[in-house]
Chain A
Amino acid sequence: MISICGERLVADQSGALHVPAHDTLIVSDLHLEKGSSYARRGVALPPYDTRATLKLLARVVRKYQPARIVSLGDSFHDPEGPERLSTVDRDTLKVLTGAHDWLWIAGNHEGLVDGNVLGGAAIEEAELGSLILRHEPRPAPATGEISGHLHPCGVVRQRGRRLRRRCFVSDGTRMVMPAFGAYTGGLNVLDQAFRPIFDAGFNTWLMGDNQVYPMPSSRLSPDERDQRTGANSAAKFPQGSRQAHR
């Protein structure tokens, strides 16, 4: 449970944020149709990203049964994304927008989504109780702001291993949400892009497989050059020591 401006928020390990008092679920940076966006430029990434993202979304919606769903911007990877949706994916999406009070917040990638086609209403930014929902975080102070855009992730070193996870970031006055989409990368929260947003310290909540793990910023490491655990080659193959999963 995270508290911002007196609003109690539940950070889900899927990357979604539940606001029980307003019966609302927020997801940010879905980047739907990112695969096909690359395909347009001749890089034929697998076309299953929209499907995977919507599947995960449907699962978390079932878990919280919210009345309202907010997609906090960059819902599509580009403005033409909605037109490239496959019939199946479009239908899945329409079921979601139709069954809930759905709000599209404008993002820098897609602008305003056409609610007449996909259902839901589109708006630049929205208020939710004492919270302000917008895509791009403003320089501090921005009390009550819930934003996305930066795709935060945190790196933890433990027993000689590096773990890199998407995360929620908050200093108690505002929050930056992790990206939800299947093909979305991450930016280390220690990157200078976060400095204007959190001028004092902040906490993070790292997305694990089964729960989120609170982690103060002091425990985090910068990215440096590589992910020790995630990237490897014959040359950098570690000596073989590994702690079994507990």
Chain B
Amino acid sequence: MWFVTPVMTASAKNLPPEIAPATVLPAQFAAWFAARGWSPRPHQVALAEAGLAGKSALLIAPTGGGKTLAGFLPSLIEISARGVPKPGQVRKLHTLYISPLKALAVDVARNLEAPINDMGLDVRVETRTGDTPQNRRQRQRRDPPDILMTTPEQLALLLSYEDSDRFFSGLKAVVLDELHALAPSKRGDLLALGLAQLRRLAPELRMTGLSATVENPDRLRRYLVLQDGTDEALAGLVVGEGGVVPDVSILDSQERIPWSGHSARHAMQEVYEAIGANKMVLVFVNTRSQAEFVFQALWHLNEDTLPIALHHGSLATEKRRKVEAAMARGELRAVVCTSTLDLGIDWGDVDLVINIGAPKGASRLLQRIGRANHRLDDPSRALLVPSNRFEVLECEAAREAAMTATQDGDIERDGALDVLAQHILCIACAAPFNAGDLYRDVISASPYSTLSRENFDKAVRFVATGGYALNSYDRFARLRQTPEGLWRLAHPSIAQRFRMNVGTIVEAPMLKIRMVRSGGRKGRGGRVLGEIEEYFIEQLAPGDTFLFAGHVLRFEGIHEQEALASKTQDDTPAIPAYYGGKFPLSTYLADRVREMLSDPKNWTQLPAQVSEWLKIQQWRSVLPKPGELLVEIFPRADKFYMVMYPFEGRLAHQTLGMLLTRRLERMGARPMGFVASEYALAVWCLHDPGLMAEQGHFTFGDLFDEDMLGDDLEAWLAESFLLKRTFRNCAVIAGLIERRFPGHEKSGRQVTFSSDLIYDVLLEHEPDHLLMQATWADASTGLLDLKRLATLLARVKNRIVVKRLDRVSPLAVPVMLEIGRETVAGEANESLLAEASEQLIDEAMRLI
């Protein structure tokens, strides 16, 4: 197998002559590098060699290493070496570039213009995304460019056309950017199946994957090549030089570090000062609402009127483009942004990355840090700003990981069945297929390499007739078998509808926000500011104020698919919208935080306030050892609180909370409710579970027994809206429920509604249906995080430390403050809450 060992030299200038670039690079290219005062980096040369030899390869390199150019070098060389086309000869698509983000595809296309123009190459590069006008898309299919930049969804769409075999017949190379982000997801599944089909249409195809550092490169190497059932089917590996250890620090705030919450309000002055002390700063936050909050807070302090901008996925496209352009021109001092800027877009000279709140994962943090300083030889600089005390621990763990370039292990997952169903219909839209052939193609894609023929056939039946045991839909089948045994579409209109529903991203319903005059009503709207999640608007009453696009807006009402809002002088939005973030804490960081807690030696690195907090906890209660689960029980205001600290992320805690309350109820403890945070779970009961256990009503071993994942889980799931939501997504992806019908758009609400009823009926009549299987697989890693809960229960078996206390402990304060946070709104409540939380803290920190 072809293999390049990691190259340790930091710069290509020192290379020995025998692997000098000239050996693979044509003179024209070598001259281009030289003219810019560059030498091709070793990994660029290695990737060019692999590509020109027609071999698939994975390039792992940090940002700033000319990774994208490396991926395109062999294509540029090949295309430019091709002769002048004969008159009338139609060019074929040579290289397909696939990126997880539309913006990235556009950006990379722009960056590729420079070498093409400088060298005067005869190479046509075009992009194709959801935003590409219909007429250009049609033209692209007739007259393809040499290099097409696109997304996984567009590839699926292209593959569904009847002429896809002709369109892709000349394809030589596929470049997959940010593969580490794309591969382990449903989009990655869809892409893997698309690549398998491309290999059928163009057997000589080579794949080039570009990736940031990952814990397990072999998984991505397999992703790139045809799987034959052995372990040896791996793409070549090229590892770029490691770059310089990043310079990561944690803000040692002079302010009081909050006990809970995610706003980092306390640190805004310090963040502002950091912006002032640097040239260009990216301020990363985890959610849109945090972005809004931070942006507004910074402008509040912005006496020097520094150009600070806002960038997040719900802003209108033009607004985002403006910010991006201003950034590229170097006109901004700071951009407050969400994960929309996480991936490898190069927006000029960023000299500091500030991460507000918990980084959630080591790899994620490394990605974000990589945004700072795209020059490889200087260290990236990052400042972590924890927004509460637990996040201080998490930031410290993430900082250590960043310094040692440690990556999170990713979750082992199999290709999703709902995505498979979509792919099967896609293939049928292009041409009738033979089930055996398609099965072989599907299992040649690494996510599906272990898929059984039985499940594959089940998916085909699902696509054909819904796949119900009660076989009543044969006459309405979408796929029928020809006498030769090929599956073909029953009607061409099915293909049309498929093309409108392709993709695996099922968005939360969004509403446009349109500006109107105060008290304004329907129709007479001003400009659209962007889109906002329906659920957020849903909790507003007319007159409520909220933050969006950096303004405080007054909600006026909803008209059709639009939320109407007006400007207001008010600068304190009434509706706070705290959402901690969608990403659960990575298992790697969780482990590190548990370790750090258990050993006071580690605390010296922490801010004094935080180590004091932990010391008092140790004195008042106990700190669990790694592997132990601490459960504290204390009375408070007529109830008994049971607080535990699994550090497994909010989703797993939430599931645990649901199951524990069921059990406690059965055991007679009369649980009244619970609240889950990233780090802890609190359940409150009318009876004292500690006393009950002491009296022998139950043991904590029983309470946390793994068997709760059996009957209790099943009973809960039967009524859980979480599973219904997961089911809805699977049903949309698998094509049971359509996103859009020609002519009448379905709103998200309507889709939700009907899918709930379908779920109930399927659960009762056919719990083993393909969609139920897919839903269950999703829920295990998704909203319910069952995998982590199962690991947790196994880990703490016989290692539960129960501590009965007379009052709340310091460690319990953060999660106790989460109780009731959701319903807080308005000034009076706010001060009541502040008062209540002060009392709680005093109580906890009192030494006697």
Contact = CB atoms under 8 A, between A and B. Distances in A.
Contact of B675 (A40, A44, A183, A240): A240
Interface string B718-759: 000110110011000000111000000000111011101110
A202 interface: no
Given A42-B476, A45-B758, A241 B674 contact: yes
Interface stretch (B145-153, B356-364, B533-541, B789-797): B533-541
B676 interface: yes
A224 B538 contact: yes
Contact of A36 (B472, B722, B820): B472
B348 to A, nearest CB: 30
Interface string A229-244: 1111111111111111
A225 B534 CA distance: 6
A241 B675 CA distance: 4
B818 interface: yes
A89 B671 CA distance: 43
B760 to A, nearest CB: 8
A183 B750 CA distance: 12
A239 B468 CA distance: 37
A21 to B, nearest CB: 34
Contacts of A36: 472-473, 476
Interface size class on chain A is: 35 or more
Contact of A44 (B476, B538, B582): B476
A43 interface: yes
Contact of B466 (A46, A86, A230): A46
A33 to B, nearest CB: 10
Contacts of A43: 736-738
A156 interface: no
B508 A236 contact: yes
Interface string B671-699: 11111110000000000000000000000
Contacts of B754: 183, 185
B819 interface: yes
Interface in A100-139: none
B765 A52 contact: yes
Contact of B765 (A40, A48, A237, A242): A48
Given A36-B473, A233-B508, A235-B508, A241 B752 contact: no
Nearest to A222: B558
Contacts of A42: 476, 478, 491, 493-494, 497
Given A40-B476, A44-B465, A232-B725, A240 B818 contact: yes
B721 A244 contact: no
A244 B761 contact: no
Interface in B606-655: 650-651, 653-654
B665 A241 contact: no
A7 to B, nearest CB: 32
A236 B533 contact: yes
Interface in A173-190: 182-186
Nearest to B539: A228
A36 B671 CA distance: 44
A152 to B, nearest CB: 15
Contacts of B657: 240, 242
A228 B535 contact: yes
B538 A234 contact: no
Given A51-B765, A182-B757, A239-B822, A86 B578 contact: no
Contacts of A224: 537-538, 558
Interface in B529-549: 533-539
Given A185-B754, A240-B818, A241-B673, A49 B661 contact: no
A226 B537 CA distance: 9
B674 A231 contact: no
B821 interface: yes
A185 B748 CA distance: 14
Interface in A32-57: 36, 39-40, 42-49, 51-52
Interface string B807-834: 0000000000011111100000000000
B435 to A, nearest CB: 18
A42 B658 CA distance: 38
A183 B755 CA distance: 9
B673 A242 contact: yes
Nearest to B728: A231
A243 B476 contact: no
A225 B509 contact: yes
Given A36-B473, A226-B509, A231-B752, A46 B673 contact: no
A36 B819 CA distance: 46
Contacts of A86: 470, 472
B782 interface: yes
B116 interface: no
14 contacts: A44-B467, A46-B758, A52-B761, A182-B760, A185-B754, A223-B749, A225-B538, A226-B749, A227-B752, A230-B721, A231-B749, A232-B535, A236-B533, A244-B665
